[in-house]
Amino acid sequence: MRAAVSKSGGSPWRCAGAVWLLLFSAIACAGGNSRVSVDAELTALLAPVAPELRPAAARIAGMPRPAFTTEALPSRRAALRQFEQPPLPDIPFEKRTIPGPAGAPDVTVYLINIGGGQRPAILHTHGGGYIAGSPAQDLPRLQRLAQALDCVIVSVDYRLAPETTWQGSGEDNYAALKWLHDHAAELGVDRQRLAVMGESAGGGHAALLALMARDRGQVSLIFQMLIYPMLDDRTASTREVPAPLGELIWTAEANRFGWRAFLGQEPGTTAVPAAAVPARAGSLAGLPPAFIAVGGLDLFVQENIAYAQRLIAAGVPTELLVLPGAFHAFDVVAEETALARRFSEARVRALREAFAQRPE
C-alpha cells in the first residue's frame, strides 16, 4: 500500500517513529527479558534491510498493526487522507469529472500539466491495496514527474473495493484511458505516445489496463510503468511467501484482505477469473514495453520477477529493476536516501526513453 506524505513536508513515519520510541522505552522499563526479546526481534527484522533504509524500517516496525477488516476500512482511509499534501502552485493541476463506464457513475480524474503542444501522456492509477487511496496522495510527486518529463499526467480516482470489485474499478480506469485518447488534442497530448503507470495496487491496475487496451484494440500504448505492482492473488494465499519478504508496510495479511475485497471472493482459488488478475492472463504477447521496479524484500518481488520473465518470453521488451534490501514503498517513506533517488531516477529515465520512441 502506498504511504502518504504529511502536510508539513515530512513523512508520517516520523510521527510513528516518536510513538515507537515511547513504546520501546516503556517496554524497556517493564523488565530485562522483554527488552531483550524486542531487541532480538528488531535486530532480526532489520538485518536484511539495506543500511540506509534501516531508520525508516525501525520506525515502521514500531507502528501498531490493527487487523484488516471491512469495519476498519473507513478509519484507515481517513487516516491516509490526513497526510495528503496540497498541489504544487507552479505546475498546472485541475480536477475534472468525465463520463464513466456504461451504466456506472462518472469518474473523477486529476489532470496535471495539460495544455501546450503535442506532448506524451501518462494514465496513472494510484496505490492503496485496491481498498484505499486517491490521486490526491500522489499529487505533488506526479506534478514533479510531469514537469521533469514535460508530459501530461491523468490520474484516476477509481472506485475502491470492497464496495466495487475488479470489474468496476477496471472499467473506471479504462474509461479514463479512452477519454484521454479521445480528447488528446484538447489536452495537448500526442495520442501516439500514451503510457500507463501505477504503484502497488495501482501497478496492478496499470497492468490490467495494458491487457484491456491490447484486447479491445481502441487505444495504443507505448509503455507500461509498473512500480512494485500487485499482480498475483495467489501470493500469500495459496502460495507461501518466505521470510523475510513482506515484513514491512504491506504484509501477507494485508495482501489477502486486499485481494479478497478486490475479487469479491477468496483469492488463490481456481475460481478466480483470469481477467481480474494480471498474473493469470493466458498470454502476455502484444503488450507494450514494460519497466518493473521492486525492492528485494517486497512481498511482491517474486511475482514481479515472474511477470517480467513471462513478458520477456512473450517477446515484450522488459526492464526489471530489483533493489536489494528495499521493502515495499521504501521510496516514499525514505525518499531522502540514495537508494530511493536511484529508484526514482531509473523511473524517469525509462519513461523519457520510452517517450523518445515515436511509433511508425
Does residue 231 contact residue 307 with C-beta atoms inside 8 Å?
A: yes
In the block, which residue shows the cell 495539460? 114
pLDDT of residue 24: 27
169, 298, 331, 344: the catalytic one is 298
CB atoms within 10 A of CB 127: 29
| pLDDT values of the chain reduced to their tens digit, one per residue, 360 residues | 333 333 333 333 333 333 222 222 222 233 334 444 668 899 999 999 999 999 999 999 988 877 889 999 998 898 888 778 899 999 999 999 999 999 999 999 999 999 888 999 999 999 999 999 999 999 999 999 999 999 999 999 999 999 999 999 999 999 999 999 999 999 999 999 999 999 999 999 999 999 999 999 999 999 999 999 999 999 999 999 999 999 999 999 999 999 999 999 999 999 999 999 999 999 999 999 999 999 999 999 999 999 999 999 999 999 999 999 999 999 999 999 999 999 999 999 999 999 998 765
| CB within 8 Å of 177: residues ≥ 6 apart | 123, 194, 196, 209, 213, 219
pLDDT of residue 84: 84
pLDDT of residue 37: 61
244 preceded by a cis bond (ω within 30 of 0): yes
The answer to whether position 3 is within a domain reads no
What is the value of pTM for the model shown? Answer: 0.89
The answer to whether position 46 is within a domain reads no
The answer to whether position 209 is within a domain reads yes
124, 126, 205, 328: the catalytic one is 328
126 is catalytic: no
11, 155, 169, 200: the catalytic one is 200
The answer to whether position 193 is within a domain reads yes
Q: Is the dihedral of CA 173, 69, 241, 282 positive or negative?
A: negative
pLDDT of residue 4: 33
The answer to whether position 271 is within a domain reads yes
Q: Which domain holds residue 126?
A: 73-356
Instruction: For residue 124, give the CATH number of its domain.
Output: 3.40.50.1820
The answer to whether position 117 is within a domain reads yes
How many domains does one find in the chain?
1
298 is catalytic: yes
The answer to whether position 214 is within a domain reads yes
Does residue 328 contact residue 2 with C-beta atoms inside 8 Å?
A: no
pLDDT of residue 79: 81
Q: Which of 227, 124, 205, 122 is nearest to 161 (CA)?
A: 205
- Alpha-carbon distance of 41 to 62, in angstroms, equals 11
The answer to whether position 134 is within a domain reads yes
90 is catalytic: no
pLDDT of residue 97: 98
